Amino acid sequence: MAQSPGAPGSRTSERRTCSHPRLVAVASALVGAAAVRSLHRRRLVGDRAGSLPGVRTDDGVLLHTEVCGPQAARTTIVLVHGFGARSDEFIHQRAELARDHRVVSFDHRGHGRSGWAGRGSASVARLGRDLADVVERSAGDVVLVAHSMGGMAVMAMACQRADLLRSTVVAVALLSTSAGHLADSRLPDAVARALVRAGAARALFVVDWVLAPLVDAVHPFRHRWGRRWLRRHLFGRRPPTPAELDRVVDMWDSTPRSVTAAFYPSLLEHHRRAALQLLAQVPCLVLTGTDDATIPASHSERIAEALGARSRLVRVPGAGHMVNLTHPELVNAEIRDLVTRACGYRATSEDGHGPGAAGTSPRRDGADESTWRVAARPRFPAERAAEGAR
Nearest to 162 by CA among 135, 122, 138, 126: 135
Dist. CA 76–CA 62, nearest whole Å: 21
Average pLDDT over residues 358-379: 30
In this prediction, residue 118 carries a pLDDT of 86
The residue ranges of DSSP E strands in 91-190, in sequence order, are 102-106, 141-147, 169-175
∠ CA 220-224-230, nearest 5°, is 70
Task: State whether residue 285 is helix, strand or coil.
Answer: strand
pLDDT tens digits for range 257-295: 889 888 988 888 888 889 999 999 999 999 999 999 999
For the segment 222-251, the average pLDDT, to the nearest whole number, is 91
DSSP states of 230-275 as a string?
HHHHH--SSPPPHHHHHHHHHHHHHS-HHHHHHHHHHHHT-B-HHH
Question: What confidence tier does 208 reach under pLDDT thresholds 50, 70, 90?
Answer: low
Could you tell me the pLDDT band of residue 47, with boundaries at 50, 70 and 90?
Answer: low
| Helix/strand/coil for 139 | coil
pLDDT at 204: 63
**Cβ-based burial of 51 (10 A; exposed 0-12, middle 13-18, buried ≥19):** middle
Give CA separation, 12 vs 20, 292, 301, 366, in Å: 13, 56, 62, 84
Q: Is 33 left (phi over 0), alpha (psi -120 to 50) or beta?
A: alpha
State percent of the chain over pLDDT 70.
Answer: 67
Phi, psi of 285 (to 5 degrees): -110, 130
pLDDT at 15 over 50: no
How many alpha carbons lie under 13 Å from residue 390 in its C-beta half-sphere?
Answer: 5
Of the two residues 118 and 313, the one the predictor is more confident about is 313
Tell me what pLDDT residue 281 has.
Answer: 93
Q: Cα–Cα distance between 54 and 107 in angstroms, integer?
A: 9
Report the largest interatomic distance among the alpha carbons of the chain, rounded to a whole angstrom. Answer: 103
Residue 174 has what DSSP assignment?
E
Q: How confident is the model at residue 124, as a pLDDT? A: 96
Q: How far apart are CA 205 and CA 216, in angstroms?
A: 16
User: What domains can you pick out in the chain, each with its CATH number?
Assistant: 54-359+379-384 (3.40.50.1820)
Q: At residue 24, does pLDDT exceed 60?
A: no
**Residues 107-161 pLDDT 10s:** 999 999 999 998 889 999 999 999 999 999 998 899 999 999 999 999 999 999 9
Task: Grade residue 83 by pLDDT with cuts at 50, 70 and 90.
Answer: very high
Between CA 24 and CA 9 the distance in angstroms is 22
pLDDT > 70? residue 220: yes
Q: What confidence score (pLDDT) does residue 384 get?
A: 42
